[in-house]
Amino acid sequence: MFSVTKRIEFCYGHRLLDYEGMCAHPHGHNAVAELEIQSEALDRRNMVMDFGDIKRAIKTWVDRELDHKMILRADDPLTPILEGLGEPVYKLDSNPTAERIARLIFDVAREQGLPVARVTVWETPDSWATYSA
């Protein structure tokens, strides 16, 4: 099995509802998402996939949908307030944990036809979450 990994950096804010701790308050992260793409065979260029193709597919989506946005649970009382102020918000049906964001990026990659094996989201340099098939 061959694999390549592409790192994508983005910034986001979030908070966790029904949570006791610091993350219950709005705060932000400089995140890194790592996408591992796997294949049994190499293509005609001797590649699993060109890094530029991964970047065009996923970084474009991350930049448009997640970067410099508040990622909030859809029923978060902050959501309508921020939207009313014209602030960029991405809504999830669950708490926007690193685990949930990793799954979101994984699902988007799969929807775009990428043979993604795992996505790891580094929330901080020493804290990360991974989702794999």
40 belongs to the catalytic site: no
Listing DSSP states for 29-90 in one string gives: EEEEEEEEEEESS--TTS-SS-HHHHIIIIIHHHHHHTTTEEEEETT-THHHHHHHTT--EE
Which residue out of 23, 65, 83, 99 is catalytically annotated?
Answer: 23
Active site residue 25: no
Decide if 11 is catalytic: no
Task: Point out the catalytic residue in the list 9, 68, 87, 111.
Answer: 68
Residues designated catalytic: 23, 68, 123
